[in-house]
């Protein structure tokens, strides 16, 4: 069964304290992995697409990496404005509809 | 990219009534998606709305409960019918402009059913 699991559910960091969020997936033929950011009361905002193991994408303090079984979203020296829920999603085996993880709620304390 | 406007942004409704959510996109798109996000949970696809054809509903969602209209390439509506408290949720519309899986979302409509 296609599945996406994110960990941890919530992560509290001090400003400047780097860490990583995990997204593990089980689909037989990966056709992309997507990271989104969602602020409270808003719709998700697209961040990255990764297509193959070893690929990396960066945007400001965020870097997404991909292996054959999981993806990491590394956050370096985070700021309070990085606080949000981070969602990952992959297309299903049978079609291109996305399977979404439950998200990681990231809280950066000043 | 795409800019998506949803209305209403939030509403409080009585049990048994119906509410229609509107989604307007600033460009023409083939496929529009309606999602539900229950408190503290991830996104669940309700249906895919294609212009000129019937919407395609996911398992657990039926047309009588969630009728969808797609009159043109920039607009869609989702109606939540005969509401119960279990329908309290955020409803989101989204589009895939480049058909790449990179979705753009509206701000969401937060629905509370009493």
The answer to whether residues A77 and A62 touch, using CB atoms and an 8 Å cutoff, is no
State the Cα–Cα distance between residues B54 and B48, nearest whole angstrom.
9
Verify whether the Cβ–Cβ distance A45 to B105 is below 8 Å.
yes
Confidence tier at A49 by pLDDT (50, 70, 90): very high
**Cβ neighbours of B41 in A, within 8 Å:** 102
Which residues partner with B36 through β-bridges?
B44, B91
Identify the closest residue of chain B to A32 by CA–CA distance: B101
Distance from CA of B44 to the nearest CA of A (A): 8
Mean pLDDT calculated for residue range A26-54:
90
Of chain A, the percentage scoring pLDDT greater than 70 comes to 96
The torsion of the CA quartet B14, B19, B24, B29, rounded to 10 degrees, works out to 130
Residue A95 has pLDDT above 70, yes or no: no
Per-residue model confidence (pLDDT) at position B42 = 86
Name the stretches of chain B with pLDDT < 50.
none
| Mean pLDDT over the full length of chain A | 92
Per-residue model confidence (pLDDT) at position A93 = 65
CA-closest candidate to residue B8, choices B24, B25, B29, B30: B24
**Cβ neighbours of A95 in B, within 8 Å:** none
- Chain A, residues 28-87, CB within 8 A of chain B, namely 31-32, 34, 36, 41-46, 49, 87
State the Cα–Cα distance between residues B95 and B107, nearest whole angstrom.
13
């Amino acid at each position: 069964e296609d599945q996406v699991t994110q960990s941890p559910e919530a992560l509290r960091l001090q400003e400047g304290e780097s860490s990583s969020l995990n997204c593990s997936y089980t689909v037989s033929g990966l056709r992309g992995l997507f990271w989104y950011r969602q602020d409270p009361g808003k719709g998700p905002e697209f961040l990255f697409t990764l297509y193959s193991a070893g690929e990396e994408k960066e945007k400001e303090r965020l870097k997404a990496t991909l292996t054959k079984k999981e993806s990491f979203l590394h956050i370096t020296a985070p700021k309070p404005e990085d606080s949000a829920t981070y969602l990952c999603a992959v297309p299903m085996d049978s079609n291109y509809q996305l399977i979404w993880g439950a998200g990681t709620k990231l809280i950066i304390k000043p | 990219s795409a800019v998506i406007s949803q209305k209403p942004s939030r509403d409080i409704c009585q049990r048994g009534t119906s509410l229609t959510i509107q989604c307007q996109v600033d460009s023409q798109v083939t496929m529009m998606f309606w999602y539900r996000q229950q408190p503290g949970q991830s996104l669940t696809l309700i249906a895919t709305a294609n212009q000129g054809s019937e919407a395609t509903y996911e398992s657990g969602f039926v047309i009588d409960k969630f009728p969808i209209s797609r009159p043109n390439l920039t607009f869609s509506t989702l109606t939540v019918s005969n509401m119960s408290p279990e329908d309290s949720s955020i409803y989101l519309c989204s589009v895939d402009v480049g058909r790449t899986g990179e979705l753009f979302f509206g701000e969401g409509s937060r629905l509370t059913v009493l």
